[in-house]
Chain A
Amino acid sequence: MVGSTIIARVADGLPLAASMDDEQAESELSGYKSQAKAIFKKLTAQSEPMCSIESGPYYLHYLLDQGVCYLCICERSFPRKLAFSYLDELAREFHMSYGGEVGKASLRPYAFIKFDTFIQKTRRIYEDSRTQQNMSKLNEDLRDVTQIMTKNMEDLLWRGGSLDRMSTLSDRLRDESQKYRKDARRLRIEGLIAKYGILAAIAAAFLLFLYLVIRVF
């Protein structure tokens, strides 16, 4: 069963439409919805165009199409083939209805919320994976699902985070090491001064004294 559906713009992660979910889905899926938002933030036009992300008891399937990301949260048992056929159907309809407006700069969030009506309608068709219509869809070779990348949510979120952390760490390391080098140089000079400073001063004073003595006499 398809739990929740969100459509967002890839360029800036702006949500364009979403399904209004019932109470049960709302309470169970809220955590996964925020994961979905995290995914939208990471996506770029270069990301894999189709991907299933594993997260707890759910799969987050997403499909990128012409700068728009279609994401649905499904139970693990829901066939992937069906999920992508569902997303594909949404993508075709969405592109036909609002494709021209998606790129507009000044879109407000959830600008195409009225697409919800279509989402609800389509979702009902895919509700039960055992209906005749859906069975035939499963059997048809619509899409080679094996090529769809599967990822793990922890990996995805964690790896992204660790990469970020890594780069900041290395930046910091570089800065710090430069600072150390400067500090070390200063310290060495200070050490030299501490070691030979007094001797040099005494020698200088003695030489000055000698000079004065020679000048006077």
Chain B
Amino acid sequence: PGYYGSPQIGAPAPAMGPAAGQGGFFVPGAGPAPVPQMQAPGPAPYGYPAVAAGGMMPPQQQQQQMGYPAPQADGLAQQFSQMGLGQGQQEYQNAVLSGRPQLAMLDEAPPAAKLPAGITCVPSESAYCPAQIKRSTLNAIPRTDKLLKKTKLPFGLLITPFKTPDEGEAPIQVAPDIVRCRRCRTYLNPYVRFIDGGRRWQCNMCNLHNDVPISMDFDMVAQEARNRWERADLNCAVVDYIAPVEYMARPPMPPVYVFVIDVSYAAVQIGAPGVIAQTILASLDRIPNIDGRTRVAFIAVDAALHFFQVRPGSAEPQQLVVSDYDEVFLPSPTDLLLNLSECRAGIESLLARFEGMFQTNHSVGNALCPAIQAAQKMLGTLGGKIIALLASPPTVGEGKVEIRPEGKDLGTPRESDLLRPQNGWYKTLAADCTRAQVAFDTVFMGQQPMEMATVACLARYTGGSVFHYPSFMAARRPEVDRFTHEFGRHLGADIGLEAVLRLRASKGLRMAAYYGNFFLRSLDLLALPSVTPNHCYAVDIEIEETLTAPVVYFQAALLHTTSFGERRIRVATLAVPTTENIHTVFHHADQVAIASLLSKKAVDRALVAKLEDARDALQHKMLEIIAAFKTECTQASSGATTQLQVPRALQLLPQLVLASLKHTSLRCGNNITVAARIAAMNLVLTLPPELSVQPYLAPRLYALHDLPPHAGYPDEQTGVTVLPPRLGLSSEVLAPHGVYLLHAGHDSFLWFGRGASPALCRALLNEQDVASIPNGVISFPDLSGGADAPADGYELNFRVARIMRRLSDLCHGLWRPVTFVAKEDGEPVIRLMLAQRLIEDMDTSAPSYQQFLGQLRDKVNRGSF
């Protein structure tokens, strides 16, 4: 399991007596009473009659029958604290903000949501929603809006609904039939209660009593009894339902991919068409095609449109050129959209010859817009995905863009204008395409300015992805490797089609705003023509009415068509306790989720308002949180303090906020191009919290010259590669005789000190000494020849390669970072790039961590900010 794996929340604790309680929430009933293991009740073959007879019932009901009132957890917590039993606030630890931040804390699981025991109707570990799929910024939610406002903490959810289970994780279970609440349409979930002897169930969102359908206990089709306690939707917080006909507007669509490939002079110069064709050719087997229905199409664009027609069974592709783009038309009614299985020979021969066809192309101009219109015609009502691979800006047709010079404006308030799209054509088109279930991925290659701010709207409003390879060149091996790996992985990734995501929450909570790549159809419905497993959607939540229940629930339902033609609903239910105690709110906050939500909000703000505003808002929020904690929860509620205190759970928040302020997406200064900024902003908006905060915002730094003996080898118990201890992100830790690895997710750096020993260089890269190591980008060599044991003398290389692989796995294999070699006295550009990632240091545009803390302290002490 990953480091953010299933949190130990609300585990039933039979051994826990009142004095040994360890949290704010405690249920007296469930403690001493051993929780019975729910299995098929002995004599009766299924649960129903047994429950009616009072023999076997879910523990929750048992607890109710034993006459214990529903716990008001906070009341209890306060009582305990008054009794001095170590409950409540005394137990919480505050951290003093001074010295270096303890980054190792980022690898810890988020603070547990302490749910009352027995809240699920079946005791099962999987009944709690994993943080990787759904994560709340607050793991104890204030009951009133007033209390929330007092804490100043942002309240929201981060949802990654389509996440594919990692290796070693259990696959998502499929529930038998759909059972929903009559009033609020909530799906059956582990937190419902069965009442009236199991004849009815009470909805956990709206408390309505629903009749239990007969199908829950009796399989009408197979004519046999069922055990309802074995149902996947009562056992797991995340389940899939197979949708019946009522959930389909039409037969499930096949996966369709239309590749729009730029073959203009700019693209040919950097060798893009050849590499793209080779990558697609190599990935043909990975594109989801279980049913043999997947269709692909290819359109090459320069100043004209080149279509490719392949007759089924034929291996001879035909090129059809259209250079009239005022009235876009398809040159042939058939055989442009090719069935991947039937036209395989033709597609292969087309891709193999693709590079040769355009090698000598000198046509400048890029007819992207007509190509998209043609692709739209091709897809019609079928829907699908258009993947646009560009190396030059669209210069032809309705949506043509003008290149805005950016040199002078970078770093000034005018920069914010450059981040906004220059015309509305792309957004309107994206809205139309969303309706027709067409999604876009945009891939930008090369250094030419391409008006990414405008073109990337296509992906932003259709749930697609944005890729950016500024230093791509077919001659640069590491860059090609990186593109081939990342784009190939993207093509091979699971895909959900014609999807909608709906969010429901308990009464009193309201979804206020959403962040991510999608099209908002109504206030609780996100339209996603295609869903990518690694896309996260963030939502701001408001408390409208006072919450009275001890626990509130959030349910996300993603209705989608799988790549194998099944209509499915993925339902994820999260339960979070509520509280009236401000200490509890602060100490159960999840700093990683908060940092991720804040950075998403800041980016969103930067895109609609000004970069400056976004930075200020972020900093101001940090100040407010610290000030609120100081006045509400510490002794020195008013007056100046020499040291700032924060709850232990929020200890790293200042560091993460600083990392966000210094990240490419928001950093001030005039050395970040608009393209790089847009790409970074898009990643911040779409990445799930466990990737966006670390390594993307706050990279990992390791010393390679003194690895602990076990680092880089598999752990004896788990078999997972052991990582060395991580270092603080400051140049102070870089010793001149050392070699360091900085991993930032999509790129990584090897730093060589001036006095790094030649032996080290030999063992790591097979180079004589530091001087002979090439500057710039390298592919990390594999000196053990892919063997499972280190080659003689190259042990370090073997271990570092394993560490890098492990780091890449932690990012779900999303990226294959290129490795920059930064020498202490080498290339200044790369040294600068590295220095910008060492976020604890001061640089020209932003303060160091210590200075940042100093500023915070001064402003908090002054009390006005």
Min CB gap A3→B, angstroms: 14
Tell me whether A20 and B342 are in contact in the complex, defined as CB-CB below 8 angstroms, given that A26-B381, A114-B565 are known contacts: no
- Determine the residue in chain B with the shortest Cβ distance to A23: B380
Interface residues on A, range: 20 to 34
Residues of chain A within 8 A of B293, CB atoms compared: 113-114, 116-117
Contact indicator B254/A110 (Cβ below 8 Å)? no
Residues of chain B within 8 A of A116, CB atoms compared: 251, 254, 293
Q: Does A18 contact B (CB under 8 A)?
A: yes
Residues of chain B within 8 A of A17, CB atoms compared: 251
Q: What separation, in Å, do the CA atoms of A196 and B863 have in the docked complex?
A: 98
Q: Does B52 contact A (CB under 8 A)?
A: no
Contact indicator B381/A22 (Cβ below 8 Å)? yes
Contact indicator A113/B312 (Cβ below 8 Å)? no
Q: Does B252 contact A (CB under 8 A)?
A: yes
Residues of chain B within 8 A of A114, CB atoms compared: 291-293, 565
Min CB gap A80→B, angstroms: 25
Q: Which residues of A36-90 have CB atoms within 8 Å of chain B's CB atoms? A: none
Q: What separation, in Å, do the CA atoms of A18 and B381 have in the docked complex?
A: 15
Interface of B is mostly: loop
- Determine the residue in chain B with the shortest Cβ distance to A19: B251
Contact indicator B245/A109 (Cβ below 8 Å)? yes
Q: Which residues of B59-105 have CB atoms within 8 Å of chain A's CB atoms? A: none
- B245's contact among A14, A20, A120, A121, by CB below 8 Å, is which? A14
Q: Does B213 contact A (CB under 8 A)?
A: no
Contact indicator B380/A18 (Cβ below 8 Å)? no
Min CB gap A40→B, angstroms: 11
Contact indicator A105/B221 (Cβ below 8 Å)? yes
Q: What separation, in Å, do the CA atoms of A181 and B242 have in the docked complex?
A: 53
Q: How many residues of chain B have a CB within 8 Å of chain A?
A: 27
Tell me whether A18 and B251 are in contact in the complex, defined as CB-CB below 8 angstroms, given that A105-B222, A116-B293 are known contacts: yes
Q: Does B797 contact A (CB under 8 A)?
A: no
Q: What separation, in Å, do the CA atoms of A21 and B251 have in the docked complex?
A: 10
Contact indicator A117/B566 (Cβ below 8 Å)? no
Q: Does B382 contact A (CB under 8 A)?
A: yes
Contact indicator B566/A108 (Cβ below 8 Å)? yes
Residues of chain B within 8 A of A18, CB atoms compared: 251
Contact indicator A117/B339 (Cβ below 8 Å)? yes
Q: What separation, in Å, do the CA atoms of A106 and B219 have in the docked complex?
A: 10
B217-235 contact mask (Cβ, 8 Å, vs A): 1 or 0: 0000110000000000000
Q: Does A27 contact B (CB under 8 A)?
A: yes
Q: Does B357 contact A (CB under 8 A)?
A: no
Residues of chain B within 8 A of A109, CB atoms compared: 243-245, 248, 567
Contact indicator B339/A110 (Cβ below 8 Å)? no
Contact indicator B380/A22 (Cβ below 8 Å)? yes
- Determine the residue in chain A with the shortest Cβ distance to B565: A113
Q: Which residues of B312-343 have CB atoms within 8 Å of chain A's CB atoms? A: 312, 334, 339, 341-342
Q: Does B253 contact A (CB under 8 A)?
A: yes
Contact indicator A106/B221 (Cβ below 8 Å)? yes
Q: What separation, in Å, do the CA atoms of A15 and B339 have in the docked complex?
A: 23
Contact indicator A121/B312 (Cβ below 8 Å)? yes
Min CB gap A43→B, angstroms: 16
Can you list 18 residue pairs at the A/B interface with Cβ under 8 Å?
A14-B245, A23-B380, A27-B381, A105-B222, A108-B242, A108-B244, A108-B567, A109-B248, A109-B567, A110-B251, A110-B252, A113-B565, A114-B293, A116-B254, A116-B293, A120-B339, A121-B312, A124-B334
- Beyond A109-B244, A116-B254, A117-B342, 20 additional contacts (C-beta under 8 Å) are A14-B245, A17-B251, A18-B251, A20-B382, A22-B380, A22-B381, A23-B377, A23-B381, A26-B250, A105-B221, A106-B221, A109-B567, A110-B248, A113-B251, A113-B252, A113-B291, A116-B293, A117-B293, A117-B339, A120-B339
Contacts from A to B (Cβ < 8 Å): 14-15, 17-18, 20-24, 26-27, 105-106, 108-110, 113-114, 116-117, 120-121, 124
